[in-house]
Structures are given as structure tokens and as C-alpha cells.
Amino acid sequence: MSKVYLALQDNDVSRYIVEAIEEDNPEVTVIHNPAMIRIEAEGHMVVKRETVEEKLGRDWEVPELHLNLITLGGNVDEDDDQLSLSWNS
Amino acid sequence: MTIEIKTSTLEPVRNTFAHIEKRFGDKPATRYQEATYDVQAETNFHYRPYWDPDHELNDPRRTALVMADWYAFKDPRQFYYGTYVQQRAKMQESAESSYAFFDKRNLVDALNDEVKTQVIRYLVPLRHVEHTANLNNMYGTAYGYGTAITQALLFDGMDRLGVAQYLSRIGLLLDGNSGDALNEAKQLWMQDPAWQGMRALCEESLVTKDWFELFLAQDLVIDTLVGELFYQQLDRKLSAQGGQDIAMLTEFMQEWSKDTGRWVDAVVKTAAAESDANRVLMTGWIERWRGKAAEALAPLAEEMLGAEALSEALAELDKRVAKAGIQ
Amino acid sequence: MAAKKLSLKDKYSLLTRDLDWEFSYQDRKEAFPFEEFEGIKITDWSKWEDPFRLTMDAYWKYQAEKEKKLYAIFDAFAQNNGQLNVSDPRYVNAIKLFLTGISPQEYQAHQGFAHIGRQYGGVGARVACQMQSLDELRHVQTQVHAMSHYNKFFDGFQNWSHMQDRVWYLSVPTSFFHDARSAGPFEFLVAIGFSFEYVLTNLLFVPFMSGAAYNGDMATVTFGFSAQSDEARHMTLGLEVIKFLLEQHEDNVPIVQKWIDKWFWRGTRLLSLVGMMMDYMLPNKVMSWQEAWEIYFEEAGGALFKDLARYGITMPKYAELVEKEKEHVSHQTWWTFYTHGHAAGFHTWIPTDEELDWLSEKYPNTFDKYYRPRWELARKLEAEGKRFYTKALPQLCTTCQIPMLFTEMDDPTQISYRDTVYKGERYHFCSDGCCDIFNDEPEKFVQSWLPVHQIFQGNCGGPGVEQVLGEYYKMNLGADNLDIKGSPDEKRWKQWKGVA
């Protein structure tokens, strides 16, 4: 199985998003680079709106992720409730 | 560690880039200037395009219009990307609250059937006209010359996609998100005799090759007439018939027309003032497309608004053209 | 009547996908004339999957928010003279190369996406390309604005617009994008959307921007990461288009594979400039070019190609060769710029002791054996007051336009040359990859505007190199070029910092 990943700008909102990702995907690895946080997982990862909202304590729409997103790897599926990344092999 | 810096030692070596200094003098430049002037490459193209071997990749000869300096087309709004999106974001925020209000208060239920029928018959099919305008402005973006005009064409093209999407949302507000109103409007667009002239006109514009001719056809001729008939006259008629709330949903388009009209007028004026040859060329193009558009819109305008509507709109167009120094 | 709630996907589809129609009054092929000549078969555009369902209103809203943040930082940077916070004046040369070499290509990407955003017959794909065209315009403009302040205090930025069409090493990125834009609409998207954006741009932006952060350059790191937030959309578009083409028709598979092979090779050649920036031009280093290549190509690209294997797509041709090159190219490229430093629009220098040790540590197989001795020789000459510049103009590869500086990977002391004869003329190349590309499209590549050929033919002024550099390229000789030591940039920096 290959790794999917996403990288976020290292800022306050991202810290809550990372927390939400860690909660929903216990297997992820979080790597801190200069000005950037990279999150990797084997095969699949999901960012859930509900969890991010819970962490932030406010409404949050999935496209808001793009404000802090630097890059990603994997097939993307985005809808109202989540953004998921996956490899099929 | 603190470093003391004498401000006198921090004098800039130069105020702006060399090409901006050459145009505007040795002084600090605006962001519009630095983002716009001489950004597009001009020479030493490596390969002729497979899809147009008679021209270079960037080539001023894709229109018959001739300009000594294509950067004469200054945008009076001074839009570069950042100012453009911030301006549109403001407009969309107010549109969003209108659409949300309309939806939340169920204002659709307050519309009588006559108004609803007209919205579906006349307003919603315009999304296909806007989609055509999106493509025609992209055409100018891709094959036009000089960032000053091509970036403004791109902004216009994207605006038209936005307008097409707002018109689609009007349909969805009317049909309770079933998509039925959109389907009905598409059927009218495809088959109803009243719309066929307009559809034929749109299709003809999409096969037009000269990008500046197409700019005049779309952004000057068709847009003036459509704006006048649909966003002014139809709006007044619907209001008189108890459909005044529809105006909340078309306010974006009205405000947009004003904003973009300023730019279109400036371009037309500048191009015509460049030379007699340009003016003759432009006069021919405008007459040709005025004739076609009038013919295409005649049955629709008459059915929708009565016998005088089209001539009023044409008078508006003629006034605009004259003001730009043509005829 | 209670309206049903629409999902993002359904809403996007209703708002966008049905805007187009079947023509009745004109031949639709005349409105979309370029879809067939490349041999790609599209049977059903409606099968296109929109990667992000972004409507224009949401686009304006989110992008405006990004711009607001970005320009607030630019303003603060200028007001506080943020240029004084960079690690070392050498660093600024990396962003000179960025503005002159990369920003104009953002503009070409904007133009190319406008072209296909007009030409594709499917509305979903078209709209995605239009948005990317708009984003790419954003990138060039934010880059120019970020560099605007540096331009006021450092040399080498001021003539980027004039230089983009002329300077010898800038023809490498320029011809790359000319090649893509002059190709058909599907090759363009495979070239830029997939091979470049998906497979390779992470290598440009991510480690380089981390490097900017590490070197105290707030303006660059901010535009870099802000641009990258659009890049995630672009990468996904690139991947979706590949999957779409491969799913549309099996005859598309070999065509797409050929394009992937071509553009992967062209991309790796282009990125040798980025390798040099990372290994030599960033005073505070984040990771080596080799490490970046391993993370962003071998690992991430490997995952991607494994995923695409089910369509019959394989790793790009010469990927094994590139695996060897990652230990060499940055050293060979910087050495070439160092020795041609009189003809470059930015400064060059010899790595410091610490940097040489870092390179030895990062490149244990190659640096001490092949490259350190050169730098030690250069240092000896410099100490003797004999900093040398190679006066001869280099021979360029007809395809990638890089001087013949790469070596055989089995023998890193032997420069790699290939050639071929076409219609009685002999053409020269740096590699089998570049030679293959020429042989596949000779009529295209015989047109290459090779800067050195053009100088010899007298098309760039003259008679001497000095006139070409000063008059045709409009470099400020003695200020923009030559070694950082003794440059006006260095003098000013010392003045600002109050050091002798």
C-alpha cells in the first residue's frame, strides 16, 4: 500500500485540522517542517467536517481546507462532509 | 541581538522594474502597473503551434485590428487578480445574503404563476447565453494580445460563468431544487421558436475567428441589448406584475453590467481613437453584429415586452457606440 | 413547498454541467476544432468527474480571503524592510532566478489553460481549466508583487520582462512551456497538468518554500504557500484528466504513455535548475535535492504510477537513469553557472567550508569523489586573485536547451553527447531522452530558438559577448552578473548591517 499525504501551512487553524485528522485517522504520521505540517498515512486518509467543527468550535466548510492546504497526494474525493485521499493499489 | 539601521542607508536603488520605469517614469509604481504592463512574452518563440501554424504562440495578427501599443487598453477599474477577486467577493457576499433571504423567507411562494412562468421562460434560459459569453471571453483571453486586455477578458469570462450559475440558482429556487425549471428552460432554449434566433446567434459567435470582432459582438453589442432587455425592461415588467423580489436575485447582474461596461467602453474608445483604419473596421463589425443581434432578439423581445422594446434597446446601444467615438 | 437539500456534487452538476448544448445552426466541430488531431478519442465528455466542485461565487470568496492575507504580509514586509531579515545576501539570488525563470512560465501556464479552457468540448473539464488559467495569472502577479520590494534593494530583478524572451539559460524553462503550449490540447494538459503539476511541481514549491522560510524570506514563503493552496486543485485536475483519457478509450493509452515519457524527461531536465537552487543557493538548507527527489518523486510518484498501472501505464522511460542523476545534477549545474557567472543575471559563488561539508554528508557517493576537488581548485584560484570565467559559449542541447554539462551516469567524468541527422543537418543532444524527443517530432524541434546559435548568427547584437549581455539581454554588467564577492549587492548589504 502506498502513502497518501497532505501538507498544511503551519498556522493556528491548521493545528485544529491536524488534531481532527489525527482523531479520525489514528494511523497517521505528522511531520513538522519549516512553516509546514505534513500528514501521511498508508493508503487512505479522511478530513471530516464534523470533527474539524468540533475542534474549532465553529462552522467549517470542507473547501475552507484549501485556504491552508499546500499539497496533497492520492485520489481526491470531496463532498459536503469530508475530503478523502486514497490510492487504489 | 539588535542591529541599528540608519534609515539613510536604506534608500532604494530603484523605484520599480525597468519596463515600468520606461513607461511611467522613475517613481514607485502601482500594483496594477507591475502586474500588467509587458508581462506577456513578445518575441523569440521557439515553435509554431500545431493548432495554428500560421501564427506565433503570442501573435498580434489574430485580429485585423492594429495597435501600436497593445497596453493602451488600460482597465479603468485597474483590476489585477487580487483586486478583481476582492471586488467580486464583496458582490457575491451581498448576492449570497439575498439568495439566502429569498430562500429562507420562501419568497418564491409569494410569486404569482404569471411571474414564475416568465422567469422560467425568459430569465433562466439566459444561462446558456452567459455560457456562450464565458467561451467568447475565454477566446479573447487565449488569442488576444497584451496582458492589459487579455486579463480583463479573462475576468469577464469568469464573471459570466458566475452569472450563468446565479441564473441556474434562480431556476433551482423556483423548482425547489428538483432541476425541473432548468430542464424546462433548456427545452425552450433548444426548441422554442422565440429562442432559436438567439441560439443561432450564440452558435455563430462561437465559430467567429477574429477575437476583437468577437469582443465587440459579445461584450458590446449582445451584452448591451441583453442587459437592456432582460435586466432592465423585463425587471421593470416583473416588478409591476408583483415579482419585485426577483430583483434581489438579479442585482448582481445589474451591478456587474455597470462595472464591466466601464471597461468595455474604455476599450472601444481606445481602439477607435487609434486610427481611421480601426474605426472603419470596428464600424463594420458593429453594424454587422447589431443587425444579426436585432434580428435574433426581435421575436423574443416582442413576445416578452412588446413591440417597442427592441428599438429602445437598440437606441441604448447606438448611444453607447456614439459615445465611444464611432459613427 | 420545502426545497430538498442539494449535495455539493448535485448542486455543482446542476449549476454547471448542463450549460452547453448540441448545436443546430453551426458545425460544433468548428467551434471546438482541436479535439481530434492528436489521435485522442473522447467518446463521452459527461463521464468527466469534477475533482473539486467549486462554483464561481465560492471561488471569489475563498480566493479573496487568500489574497487579503497575502497582501497584508507584502505590505508589512515592505514597511518593515523585511529584506533585511534574510539569512544572507546570497539567498536573494535564488529568488532572482525564480522571478526571471519561473514567473514568466506561470504566465504561459495561464495562457495555455485559457486556450484549452476555450477548446475542450466538455463543460466540466473546460471550467476546471478556466479556473486554473485564472489561478496561474494570480501566481505570476503575486510573484511580481512579492519581488517588487526586493527589486528596489537588489540588482538582477529589474529586467525580468525583457530577459524572459532572450537570456540563454532562461530559454530552458521558456522553451519547455512553448513546447507544451504549441502542442495539442490534450498533450498540453498531460504535460503541464499531469507531468509537471502532479509529478514535479511539489519539488519546486514545497522544499524551496520551506527553504525560503528557513532563510527568513517571509514574502516568498507566503506567496509560495499561498500559490500552493491552488496547486492542490491543479494536481487533482491533472490526475483526473489522465484517468479520464485512459478510461475513454484504450487507444489513448499508448499516446498518453508517450507524452508522460516525454514530459517527465523534459521536466527532470528543467528541474536541474531547482536542484542547484536547493543545494547551492539556499544558505540555510532544508533538505538536499536528492532527499527532495526521493520524497516527492520516488515515493509520491511511485505511489501514483502504481495506482495508474491498472490502466496499463508504466513508470516513465528513463526513470532509472534519473535515479542515478539525483546524486549529480545539482553539482554539475551550479558548477556550470559558476564558471559562466559573467553571463548570468544573478551572482554565483564558491560554497563555504560548512556548505562543502554538508554536501559531502548529503552526497556520500559522489561529492568528495567528483565535485569537492573542483571547488577546492576554484578556491585556490580565487585566493590567488584568479577567479575564472569560461569565455567560450557552451553548446546547447537542441531539445532541453541546457548546455552540454551532464555526464554519463556510468562515468561521471565523461560529458554525455548524443546526435542525430535530420534532412542533412546534424543536431546535438545532452541525453538519449532529449534525442528521442527530437526524433519523435523533428519538425517541431528544428525550429528551436537556441540562444547560442542565435548569438553566432548575429541575431542578438554583438559583435562580442559583452554587447549581447549588456545590449541585447539588458543586464547591468558589473552589477547583475559576476561573483557575489565585490558585487554592489554585497556592498549594500554590509552597509545596512554595519559590517566592513
What is the residue-wise DSSP string for C423-462? TTEEEEESSHHHHHHHHHSHHHHTT---HHHHHHTTBTB-
Q: What is the rounded distance in angstroms from the CA atom of residue A39 to the CA atom of residue A61? A: 20
Q: Where are the domains of chain B?
A: 80-323
- Which of B57, B168, B189 lies at the smallest CB-CB distance from C15? B168
- In this predicted structure, the answer to whether residue A89 has a pLDDT above a threshold of 80 is no
**Hey, of B207, B209, B255, which one would you mutate to test binding to chain C, going by the most C CBs within 10 A of its CB?**
B207
Residues 165-224 of C with CB under 8 A from B: 165-166, 171, 174-175, 178-179, 181-185
Binary contact (A4, C235; C-beta < 8 A): no
Binary contact (C225, A36; C-beta < 8 A): yes
Q: What is the rounded distance in angstroms from the CA atom of residue A49 to the CA atom of residue B32? A: 38
Q: What is the rounded distance in angstroms from the CA atom of residue A74 to the CA atom of residue A59? A: 27
- In this predicted structure, the answer to whether residue B7 has a pLDDT above a threshold of 60 is no
- In this predicted structure, the answer to whether residue C206 has a pLDDT above a threshold of 60 is yes
Instruction: Say which residues have a Cβ less than 8 Å from residue A80's Cβ, sequence separation at least 6.
Output: A49, A62, C7, C8
Residues of C in contact with B95 (CB under 8 A): 57
Binary contact (C303, A75; C-beta < 8 A): no
Q: Which of C202-216, C223-237, C415-429 has the highest mean pLDDT?
A: C415-429
Q: What is the rounded distance in angstroms from the CA atom of residue C114 to the CA atom of residue C237? A: 15
CA-based nearest distance C141→chain B, Å: 5
Which domain, by its residues, includes C270? 53-349+388-497
- In this predicted structure, the answer to whether residue B6 has a pLDDT above a threshold of 80 is no
Binary contact (A89, C306; C-beta < 8 A): yes
| Residue C364 maps to a domain | no
Region for residue B283 given its phi and psi (left: phi exceeds 0; alpha: psi -120 to 50; beta: otherwise): alpha
**Nearest CA to C148 among B146, B35, B23?**
B35
Instruction: Say which residues have a Cβ less than 8 Å from residue C115's Cβ, sequence separation at least 6.
Output: B142, B143, C181, C185, C188
- At C500 the pLDDT is 66
| Residue C12 maps to a domain | no
**Residue C94 cell numbers, joined:** 535564488
- B139-143, B319-323, C207-211, C322-326: range with lowest mean pLDDT: C207-211
Instruction: Say which residues have a Cβ less than 8 Å from residue B228's Cβ, sequence separation at least 6.
Output: B312, B313, B316, B317
- B113-127, C95-109, C297-311: range with lowest mean pLDDT: C297-311
Share of chain B above pLDDT 70, in %: 97
- Whether the CB-CB separation of B242 and B111 falls below 8 Å is answered with yes
| SS3 call for A37 | strand
- In this predicted structure, the answer to whether residue C211 has a pLDDT above a threshold of 80 is yes
- Per DSSP, B29 falls in state P
| Residue C14 maps to a domain | no
**Nearest CA to B316 among B247, B218, B197, B223?**
B223
Q: How far is CA C462 from CA B44, C256, C392, C403, C454, in A?
A: 17, 44, 15, 21, 11
Binary contact (C118, B179; C-beta < 8 A): no
- In this predicted structure, the answer to whether residue C156 has a pLDDT above a threshold of 70 is yes
- Which of C221, C236, C300 lies at the smallest CB-CB distance from A35? C221
Please return the burial class of B113, using the count of CB atoms within 10 Å of its CB with bins 0-12, 13-18 and 19+.
Answer: exposed
pLDDT band (50, 70, 90) for residue B1: very low
Count of beta carbons in the 10 Å neighbourhood of residue B58: 21
- At B5 the pLDDT is 52
Q: Concatenated DSSP letters for C243-274?
A: HHHHHH-TTHHHHHHHHHHHHHHHHHHHHHHH
- Please count the structural domains in chain C: 1
pLDDT digits (tens, 9 = 90+) for C359-410: 999 999 999 999 999 999 999 999 999 999 998 889 999 999 999 999 999 8
Residues of A in contact with C51 (CB under 8 A): 76, 78
Average pLDDT of chain C to the nearest whole number = 94
Strand order of the β-sheet with A44-48 is A44-48, A82-86, A75-78
| Residue C230 maps to a domain | yes
Q: Subunits touching A (CB < 8 Å, at least 3 pairs)?
A: C
- At B3 the pLDDT is 52
Q: What is the rounded distance in angstroms from the CA atom of residue B283 to the CA atom of residue B291? A: 12
Asked whether the CA dihedral B89, B93, B98, B99 is positive or negative, the reply is positive
Helix (H) or strand (E) holding C332: helix C329-339
Q: Is the peptide bond before C463 cis (omega within 30 degrees of 0)?
A: yes
**Residue B150 cell numbers, joined:** 487579455
Q: What is the rounded distance in angstroms from the CA atom of residue B226 to the CA atom of residue B128? A: 13
Chains A and C: how many Cβ contacts under 8 Å? 95
**Nearest CA to C277 among C231, C353, C346, C379?**
C346
Please return the burial class of A22, using the count of CB atoms within 10 Å of its CB with bins 0-12, 13-18 and 19+.
Answer: middle
Q: What is the rounded distance in angstroms from the CA atom of residue B273 to the CA atom of residue C316? A: 54
- At C198 the pLDDT is 82
| Residue C32 maps to a domain | no
- Which of B14, B17, B44 lies at the smallest CB-CB distance from C165? B44
- In this predicted structure, the answer to whether residue B91 has a pLDDT above a threshold of 90 is yes
Residues of C in contact with B49 (CB under 8 A): 181-182
- Which of C9, C210, C230 lies at the smallest CB-CB distance from A36? C210
Share of chain C above pLDDT 70, in %: 99
- In this predicted structure, the answer to whether residue B109 has a pLDDT above a threshold of 50 is yes
The mean pLDDT value for B178-201 works out to 97
Residue of B nearest to C171 (CA): B46
- Which residues, listed in sequence order, are joined to residue A31 by a DSSP beta bridge? A38
**Residue B286 cell numbers, joined:** 458593429
- In this predicted structure, the answer to whether residue B299 has a pLDDT above a threshold of 70 is yes
Residue of A nearest to C239 (CA): A75
- B198-207, C206-215, C303-312: range with lowest mean pLDDT: C206-215
| Residue C313 maps to a domain | yes
ipTM: 0.97
Binary contact (A75, C58; C-beta < 8 A): no
Burial B255-274 (b: 16+ CB within 10 A, else e): ebbebbbebbbbbbebbbeb
- At B166 the pLDDT is 98
- At C378 the pLDDT is 97
Q: Which CATH superfamily is domain B80-323 in?
A: Ribonucleotide Reductase, subunit A (1.10.620.20)
- Which residues, listed in sequence order, are joined to residue A3 by a DSSP beta bridge? A42
**Residue C388 cell numbers, joined:** 575564472
If one compares C156 and A63, the residue with the highest pLDDT of the two is C156
CATH value at residue C148: 1.10.620.20
Residues of A in contact with C228 (CB under 8 A): 69-71
**Nearest CA to B35 among C95, C71, C182?**
C71
CA-based nearest distance A7→chain C, Å: 9
pTM of the predicted structure, to 2 decimals: 0.96
The mean pLDDT value for B205-224 works out to 98
